[in-house]
Chains A and B, each alone.
Chain A
């Protein structure tokens, strides 16, 4: 019952690492809904929680810089994990919420987390008006009309840091995979997945050295599923890249203990038109590792998408962007060079000290 197990469950609810094992998860007997390819996303309803799915997240990353050109990155994530496929008011709610927030500077990485139970009002997501919150962290719609996610205010804090930002979308919502149905393994595990990668951001960061006014770009991912990983998959590397030409690239690599990694990518044109690429189209190759928290973690990557003549090199802004939380992982801003330039975010899970 301790927080380790709880977070593990939040993160890898359907993974092989879970105590329940893979086989029993996502089946009818458990009562959780399973993503289906033909189901269409519907907004703003799908911005809200889906308690009948085991796991769900509202995941925002942003590449920011101040007036002097110093780069920063922030992360704001709200995870929902269901112990049972229903919602309830009060203490009886089976919905558990986990908040993660990060702030990366070239020298320092800050991280914080919050944990709450659904049904109590301590954490949750509402659609009208749109708000996602846990404690005093929030992502609140400020859009007077149109999609609620078009404009947002965002805040979080932790020991040594805080941020308060306003976000304005300059492009449409983008479904990932096939119309939002994103396949995660050769066996067919999948999730619903859509993004809003077109945020222009301004606001302020609070650092131990004082407040910093920043501007930049942000990317929101929405994903929910009951079975995100396959039995032999033990972690992933995930990227969201803002290219200087206005195009975006989402890509991930699910590492498999027994075979080749499963990759997926979506090329997003500057007008928001997505081009999904199936397994194998994208290759992600670690170039250099950094010793982080006792384990070698790749902090320099070669990214190739031959279909788009894309050949990029990613360098971590701060190789020690370690989210040293109950469930630890690496998450931080990267700088893009190669066939294109730009900035982006890299997330890597499943790297543990030997």
Chain B
């Protein structure tokens, strides 16, 4: 009996292939986007873990001076006092066009397990190769290729376990490359280390827990949260689709259910069969979704890698490894999603009286009361979202604001649409217009889920593109301001630098040293630059806030400029003292914008920096000249400087913008995907509704409207709903953009961006949503236009 019953249930799908397709496609799309995002996230996390885990440094407690690097003597003194420690020197360096993250370990004292390379690889090296200049360094194969032609590097050895852009070497090599002068960033505490800190020997050192190391993962968390939010959003959109199709499938089979029960199938068995059917469908769709998700992830991952690299300097490989965890999570989410979508239908069957009428009713009609309840919930979400950043700090509050905003607006949508359509009806003249508005309003409950998903997709689109465009505009303007020199020259050595400056004295309008030290600021990685007194700084440097006489204070050595990130993180305002190193404090004379840099940065008058850092590398220079090209050529000929050491303003800008564009490629791709899923949601909703539309369309047809007229009206209706949804999505999206720019950005990166409006983009998006609505309406409308009159007449026939 069970088999016969199952056959009866399943036969429905054979007769409704389109419905079957939308169900599977909806669930598969939802699962695909969700698992793609999961795959990307887990791949990135795995890479960080590999990078950290291979070097294992995350698993050690460390001693570090929050004010900056410590001298070599501290290490020796502590070792002589019996502390089992190993020194670590870290930093970033530019080799040609490659920005490389260096990790210098003491290959002698570092634990064997944490050294790079495998034992065979290491066995093939002699101590002379390792410890005598130029030494050796381990890098990822990609990085090895990229650094192939760079002079002055140690012998590079490929190590596949390393992330791209990272170079691991003996501390002596790192010291030479970073010109650290023997200084050390931190000391890892090895087995057998005493508790506490060596307060008598090195009172400046603080002990840091194992977990406080993950600088990269802390930074990139916001990015991953972002992706996860996108994943959830697309899954929600997908669920709307599935909810619609499963609901319809249940509704259409009410008579089958009733007949089966009348024939003696117990209710429990019927429910079990339906549950089994749903799980089967969910597994099928989930499997498809995971395969699709893998493809999406593999396509997006290179851009994600570029983003993480451009934004945070965190490197992950651009290729994807299959990870059963995210596949399982994707499948699990598909199952749960399908069950949630079916719960309503199953419950209705449980309550269905045996003798109820088998006639299909308008299943999607929601009562005014439930609409009002939904709107109230939406309002509550909006309020909670807006309250979140007021009541709490941190990235999560920012995301709570975004979530509240989006979901609240979505829940409010049906009520708002109803109000807008009533207003339309009130203004309508002729009978057809009146009927159009009234009938459109009646369609809203059935379409609301699809329209809500469209709203989410549109609002996200408006929000994200406003954010990206505002960022781009600000960034470009900022680049113009910040890149004051026409030519940037890096000398290969101190001696060359000396000659270079002398040579340029008569040939350039001005030579501006760009000398800096990597020096932790408030316990986090940071940089201190020294600049000379020149008018270009006074007139160009992008100051956000300043004391009354910022430059006068600055050049008198009575003030420091700090970037917005540092100011935000340490809550510094102009006039506050900022600590630049042990015993070195200056008042903040101004705060400047410094986009794209996760680290804290400070600028002081150059003589002051040299006073505190005697070994300051003096290699980079900005040059003011009217003929950058000629000067570059002359420098190339005179000093044999490689092209990589001579960068003109334009190409630097171009490179910066290119990094910027790549950064947001993934966001753009996910945007388009979400919009497509929303478009698909509208299509399925319209298809579903169109099969129930005949009774509503037959009377006006009988009263003298042609099928073509009706089809045009149906198309208009779809466009009107899309337009109205867009009208609500626009303010929602702008609020979203504001919360991204003013709340999330500040929390995640430490900089706040001004918001600009881009109406042309909105028009484009409106056009896009109208096209989506047209495409979605096309199939049902074409079907309507071709409906045989006898189909309409059946509505009126007494024999049904």
Contact = CB atoms under 8 A, between A and B. Distances in A.
Q: Per the CB under 8 Å rule, do A and B touch in the complex?
A: yes
B182 interface: yes
Contacts of B175: 90-92
Interface in A1-21: 1-3, 5-6, 9, 19-20
Given A5-B123, A91-B172, A91-B175, A136 B82 contact: yes
B675 to A, nearest CB: 54
A294 to B, nearest CB: 22
A84 interface: yes
Given A90-B175, A115-B109, A121-B73, A5 B127 contact: yes
A94 B130 contact: no
B695 interface: no
Given A92-B133, A96-B108, A83 B80 contact: no
A27 to B, nearest CB: 15
B125 A135 contact: no
Contacts of B123: 2, 5
B80 to A, nearest CB: 6
A80 to B, nearest CB: 13
B75 A122 contact: yes
Contact of A122 (B79, B115, B125): B79
Interface in B151-191: 170-172, 175-176, 182
Interface in A74-108: 83-84, 89-92, 94, 96
A1 B80 contact: no
B130 A1 contact: yes
B132 A84 contact: yes
A133 interface: yes
A2 B80 contact: no
A92 B133 CA distance: 8
Contact of B127 (A83, A90, A157): A83
Given A84-B132, A92-B133, A120 B127 contact: no
A29 to B, nearest CB: 14
A124 to B, nearest CB: 9
Given A1-B122, A83-B131, A120 B72 contact: yes
Interface string B613-651: 000000000000000000000000000000000000000
A193 to B, nearest CB: 25
Nearest to B77: A121
Contacts of A90: 72, 172, 175, 182
Given A91-B175, A122-B79, A2 B131 contact: no
B126 interface: yes
B109 A136 contact: no
A179 B676 CA distance: 92
Contacts of A20: 126
A116 B79 contact: yes
A1 B125 contact: yes
A89 B75 CA distance: 14
A9 B76 contact: no
From A1, A3, A133, name the one whose CB has the most chain B CB atoms within 10 angstroms. Answer: A1
Interface string A30-63: 0000000000000000000000000000000000
A1 B130 CA distance: 7
Contacts of A116: 79, 108-109
A133 B108 CA distance: 16
Nearest to B182: A90
A94 B131 contact: yes
Contacts of A92: 133, 172, 175-176
A1 B126 CA distance: 6
From B79, B81, B132, name the one whose CB has the most chain A CB atoms within 10 angstroms. Answer: B79
Interface in B769-798: none
Interface residues of B, number: 34
B108 A19 contact: no
Contacts of A136: 79-82
Contacts of A96: 108, 127, 131
A313 interface: no
A255 interface: no
Interface in A112-135: 115-117, 120-122, 133, 135
Given A115-B108, A115-B109, A120 B125 contact: no
B122 A122 contact: no
A91 B80 contact: no
Nearest to A90: B182
Contacts of A83: 127-128, 131-132
B119 interface: yes
Given A83-B127, A83-B131, A117-B108, A2 B122 contact: yes
Contacts of A117: 106, 108, 131, 172
Contacts of B136: 1
B54 to A, nearest CB: 16
A349 to B, nearest CB: 20
Given A120-B72, A122-B75, A1 B182 contact: no
A9 B131 CA distance: 13
B132 A3 contact: no
A90 B75 CA distance: 11
Contacts of B108: 6, 96, 115-117
A5 B79 CA distance: 24
B423 to A, nearest CB: 77
Contact of B76 (A94, A115, A121, A157): A121
List 5 A-B pairs, minimum CB-CB distance, nearest first: A121-B76, A91-B172, A136-B82, A1-B130, A90-B182
22 contacts: A1-B125, A1-B136, A2-B115, A5-B127, A6-B108, A19-B126, A20-B126, A83-B127, A83-B128, A84-B128, A84-B132, A89-B182, A90-B175, A92-B133, A92-B175, A96-B131, A116-B79, A117-B131, A121-B76, A122-B75, A136-B79, A136-B80
Given A1-B125, A1-B136, A122-B76, 18 more contacts: A1-B122, A1-B129, A1-B130, A5-B123, A5-B126, A5-B127, A90-B172, A91-B171, A92-B176, A94-B131, A96-B127, A116-B79, A116-B108, A121-B73, A121-B76, A121-B77, A135-B80, A157-B82
